[in-house]
């Protein structure tokens, strides 16, 4: 790695699933690193022992893998790096930039209340700042922050940002239980890992001056900061469960393709002219922090659904087959012949918005016995269709090379001889073969089902229609 190599990171806390906002942050870091031919690091910030879980860690890793956001280093786990963090504490203590504080939580709480009663900011009052105390059983280590002046930085998205130092207190760097605080661990890791760019949500803006002060106390050069605006729902409130799914894996399980979700996330707050659809290589080529907006972006699920339908149509059949299989297996369909599955996917690609929808619409291909939609059956599997179904079944029996072309040729001869429109026979056949009044092209469906299935299902429909005739005759005689 050269001195000027760009290094970004994604540092999730494993206290829950990877949500949409976090995924967009990961994507922006990944895109920037890939565009600059730099390095993207995955770091698991699991110092919150009570809330961090291995299940959440696995879900985060699984989400990133599903999205295709690969990392060059990691995952690093902060829970395994305490010795590194203590080295930074020792640097700060030895240089006089940090100090031990022996104030108890009870004392701190009492002073906070007193300060608030006087209308003062309830921050640490610096009681131990100049006492040069050593370690103790309940001692913490605090940063000796500047008490005047300003902490300023230029945000690559928001522009110049400034904080008054008198608003910032001597934050705790090391807890009495022997663990680092968030700010210390983050800065230590960012320094140790050579971070050049910190791209994160704008809910971290207030953390930045505190972390800059730690950099300054250590005498380390600052990285560049870019704070990405939050994601809102269509009603312009913060994205939450009331807007629908918020976790990456939920969208996977709802049948969305990763490239569709990536495309949608990239466009929440970032633009490149009027272009809406991007391949991943296009995103790498065209992404820039300069084109990330300063205001919050809207996550539109309808647009995502349209994108997903587009990507389903554009995705190769073999890849779609791999993606669809788990959804079919949850419906109990296993050991499906490859050729039949590929054929089914080909017919359903143009009319499916999600893989869940595709799997549901594919049911009729793989069930042993189809169930008729009552309305469609009443309308099309009736006495008027009986003779036509019998005739077309005899003609189809004579076909040995059962393909879309040979089947279509049979139908063309049929409608020419009978002087009927194709729909007159196609609709009864559609119900006979699929159970529904709507389906992919009838000739394609027949080719995928195969000769034996087609003949068997038409035979069943003939019996059903014949039963309708019997029922109709019974009603007529009784009247």
Distance CA 208, CA 163 (A): 10
Q: Is 241 an annotated catalytic residue?
A: yes
**Residue 479: how many other CB atoms lie within 10 Å:** 5
Residues 6+ apart with CB under 8 A from 35: 284, 285, 287, 288
Query: Of residues 113, 150, 241, 337, which has the active-site annotation?
Result: 241
- Contact (CB, 8 A) for 309 and 353: yes
Neighbour-count burial of 406, counting CB atoms closer than 10 A to its CB (0-12 exposed, 13-18 middle, 19+ buried): middle
- Tokens 């913490």 found at: 140
Q: Is 450 helix (H, G, I), strand (E, B) or coil?
A: coil
Name the nearest CA neighbour of 374 among 293, 464, 278, 240: 464
378 cis-preceded (ω within 30 degrees of 0): no
Distance CA 258, CA 255 (A): 9
- Contact (CB, 8 A) for 93 and 83: no
- Tokens 């009784």 found at: 478
Distance CA 318, CA 137 (A): 63
Query: 42 forms bridges with which residues in the sheet?
Result: 10
User: For 27, phi and psi rounded to 5 degrees?
Assistant: -60, -45
First to last CA, the chain: 92
User: For 152, phi and psi rounded to 5 degrees?
Assistant: -130, 150
DSSP 349: G
**Residue 112: how many other CB atoms lie within 10 Å:** 16
Render 58-116 in DSSP notation, one character per residue.
HHHHHHHHHHT---SEEEEEGGG-HHHHHHHHHHHHHTTSEEEE---HHHHHHHHHHHH
- Any idea which residues carry the catalytic annotation? 241
């Amino acid at each position: 790695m050269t001195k000027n190599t760009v290094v970004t990171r994604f540092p999730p806390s494993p206290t829950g699933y990877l949500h949409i906002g976090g995924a967009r942050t990961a994507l922006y870091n990944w895109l920037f690193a890939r565009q600059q031919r730099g390095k993207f690091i995955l770091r698991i910030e699991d110092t919150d022992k009570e809330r961090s879980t291995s299940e959440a860690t696995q879900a985060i890793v699984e989400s990133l893998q599903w999205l295709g956001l690969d990392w060059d280093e990691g995952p690093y786990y902060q829970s395994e790096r305490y010795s590194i963090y203590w080295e930074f504490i020792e640097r700060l203590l030895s240089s006089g930039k940090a100090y031990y504080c022996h104030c108890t939580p009870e004392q701190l709480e009492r002073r906070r209340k007193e300060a608030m009663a006087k209308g003062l900011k309830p921050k640490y009052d610096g009681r131990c700042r100049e006492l040069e105390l050593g370690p103790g059983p309940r001692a913490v280590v605090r940063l000796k922050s500047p008490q005047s002046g300003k902490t300023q930085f230029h945000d690559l998205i928001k522009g110049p940002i400034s904080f008054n130092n008198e608003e910032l207190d001597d934050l705790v760097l090391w807890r009495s239980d022997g663990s680092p605080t968030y700010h210390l661990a983050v800065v230590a890791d960012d320094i140790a890992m050579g971070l050049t760019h910190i791209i994160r949500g704008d809910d971290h803006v207030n953390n930045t001056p505190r972390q800059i002060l730690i950099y300054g106390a250590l005498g380390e050069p600052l990285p560049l900061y870019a704070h990405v605006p939050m994601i809102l729902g269509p009603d312009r409130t913060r994205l939450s469960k009331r807007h629908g799914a918020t976790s990456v894996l939920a969208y996977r399980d709802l049948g969305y393709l990763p490239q569709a979700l990536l495309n949608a996330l990239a466009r929440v707050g970032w633009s490149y002219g009027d272009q809406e659809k991007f391949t991943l290589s296009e995103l790498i080529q065209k992404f820039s922090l300069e084109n990330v907006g300063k205001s919050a972006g809207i996550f539109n699920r309808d647009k995502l659904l349209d994108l997903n339908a587009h990507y389903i149509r554009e995705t190769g059949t073999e890849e779609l087959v791999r993606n669809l299989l788990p959804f079919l297996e949850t419906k109990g369909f296993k050991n499906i012949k490859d050729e039949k599955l590929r054929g089914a996917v080909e017919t359903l690609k143009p009319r499916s918005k999600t893989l869940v929808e595709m799997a549901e619409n594919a049911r009729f291909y793989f069930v042993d016995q189809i169930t008729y939609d009552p309305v469609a059956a009443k309308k099309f599997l009736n006495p008027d269709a009986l003779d036509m179904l019998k005739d077309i079944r005899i003609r189809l029996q004579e076909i040995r090379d059962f393909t879309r072309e040979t089947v279509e040729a049979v139908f063309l001869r049929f409608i020419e001889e009978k002087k009927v429109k194709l729909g007159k026979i196609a609709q009864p056949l559609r119900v006979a073969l699929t159970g529904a009044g709507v389906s992919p092209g009838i000739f394609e469906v027949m080719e995928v089902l195969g000769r034996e299935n087609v003949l068997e299902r038409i035979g069943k429909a003939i019996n059903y229609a014949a039963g309708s005739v019997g029922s109709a005759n019974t009603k007529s005689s009784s009247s």
